[in-house]
Structure 1
């Protein structure tokens, strides 16, 4: 059976998955690119990037994924719902290459992009959205792409089987936190950590019994 996965979700030392003040020009608010600079330095991103620990984790992002679920805040800046021409923050050829289900109260017709990505807009619960995404994935795995609120909601309902979180050595102080309301989460997962020379700590969560 397919599983539900999170890959390469970056948080700060104080647990924030995005900064405060998201806008069209600042997709991660005051955090800027600092949460993801470790990815940009890998061979996955650039042919002359490093091929070490960070690259080994980031390379697992795509294989075996048949569909993605993301939140409205990952799809775009606050207010994108009022812009009928907005097609996401990744240009004409987004990096997903699968059906992507955007959870939002402001639904709109699906948008077909280059490279195999089609954005669908659902007003649904996590379990309802997962059922739709699983059918579209055709037996492949479903990735929960973020942001922090969406991952938190799926964790709270016990719907995530495997999760990779990259803890980046910065302090943001404000924004959207990943762990709020998830006390005791460690009791339902096998947790391992791997340190990278970049300063990033990669933490993996494998649901017990999954």
Structure 2
């Protein structure tokens, strides 16, 4: 059965992006540091057409996170551009160039309708205006027997977590403090969910914490 999974880097003080996000700096001030653990990995470099790189305890975590994914979901803030709003001339196609790294259908949650955007490498962005449940239903249909990856950002991931729709959450906890920005784990005290820790893996510059999530009975 298809699962909704989220795999996200987070600072020690709970931020998944830094403050003052701009088109030139989409992860905000200091936000790029959240990914210092993954960029040097040989597996990450191969996935971006590069050579060389490191092998360490994070390698298997990174490779597992990319397995069995048939569709994705993301919020408008992650797709961009910063500030959202109407699509204007519809020239914006995301942060990733002509060949985004997904290579499957991605469902973008937005208030503004837009025709699907077909990119190189098998990625098609679909724009969903009727909420997180509809986006998940469409993504699961597209994924078939495979899983759906929730790519963020922090606000939409928090919504899925609070709604009890997320099945697995893997936090890559980076030992930095960002002080402000986009938080993931706010407003969840009353969420009707239960988290079961599946594992904890220590690696250079990061600790990987994986949880199974289920509604409380």
TM-score (ref. length: structure 1): 0.92
What's the counterpart of residue 145 of structure 1?
151
The correspondence of residues 12-51 of structure 1 with structure 2, limited to 5 A, is 12-46=11-45, 47-51=51-55
The correspondence of residues 77-92 of structure 1 with structure 2, limited to 5 A, is 77-79=81-83, 81-82=87-88, 84-92=90-98
What's the counterpart of residue 2 of structure 2?
2
Kindly state the Cα deviation for residue 184 of structure 1 after the two structures are TM-superposed: 6.8
The correspondence of residues 168-207 of structure 1 with structure 2, limited to 5 A, is 168-183=174-189, 188-191=194-197, 192-196=199-203, 198-207=204-213
Question: Is the CA contact 1:167–1:200 (under 8 Å) kept in the aligned structure 2?
Answer: yes
Per-residue CA shift, 1:5-64, capped at 9, x if unaligned? 112x01111000111111111010112411111110111122422221111111123211
The unaligned stretches of length 5 or more in structure 1 are none
Question: Is the CA contact 1:3–1:161 (under 8 Å) kept in the aligned structure 2?
Answer: yes
Kindly state the Cα deviation for residue 207 of structure 1 after the two structures are TM-superposed: 2.3
Are residues 1:58 and 2:57 paired? no
Are residues 1:118 and 2:117 paired? no
Per-residue CA shift, 1:146-184, capped at 9, x if unaligned? 001111000011111111110111100000111001127
Whole-angstrom CA distance in 2 between matches of 1:181 and 1:32: 22
Kindly state the Cα deviation for residue 128 of structure 1 after the two structures are TM-superposed: 1.5
How many positions carry a matched residue from both structures?
207
Whole-angstrom CA distance in 1 between matches of 2:214 and 2:143: 23
Question: Is the CA contact 1:22–1:77 (under 8 Å) kept in the aligned structure 2?
Answer: no
Flag the 1:126–1:186 CA change in 2: closer, same or farther, 3 A.
Answer: closer
Kindly state the Cα deviation for residue 208 of structure 1 after the two structures are TM-superposed: 4.8
- SS in structure 1 opposite 2:151? strand
Question: Is the CA contact 1:4–1:159 (under 8 Å) kept in the aligned structure 2?
Answer: yes
Kindly state the Cα deviation for residue 185 of structure 1 after the two structures are TM-superposed: 6.5
Question: Is the CA contact 1:67–1:141 (under 8 Å) kept in the aligned structure 2?
Answer: yes
